Amino acid sequence: MPLITFEGGKLTDEMKKALITKLTDVASEITGVSKNIFYISIREQPFENVAIGGRSVKEMKKEILKK
């Protein structure tokens, strides 16, 4: 059973549904494997738990919103 894992920030239910549908559709189309056996895992990470260049994404978002 193929597994697709998506990691990102907080998502709405609508976003999750769209990700599940589109990731499954594209992966099935490319691989030729039936959609019925794809497993999708969505892992939401709080922005303070993710960092780039020594700064959390939460801090970076605050700076961007100030501009």
The pLDDT of residue 9: 86
Which residues, 6 or more positions from 31, have their beta carbon under 8 angstroms from its beta carbon?
A: 2
Domain with 40 in it: what CATH number?
A: 3.30.429.10
Q: What is the pLDDT of residues 18-66, one digit of tens each?
A: 999 999 999 999 999 999 999 999 999 998 998 999 999 999 989 999 8
Query: How would you classify residue 46: left for phi > 0, otherwise alpha for psi between -120 and 50, otherwise beta?
Result: beta
Number of domains in the chain: 1
Please tell me the predicted confidence (pLDDT) of residue 21: 98
pLDDT at 5: 97
Give DSSP secondary structure letters for 40-63.
Answer: EEEEE--GGG-EETTEEHHHHHHH
Give the H or E element holding residue 29.
helix 13-31
Expressed as residue numbers, the domain containing 27 is 3-66
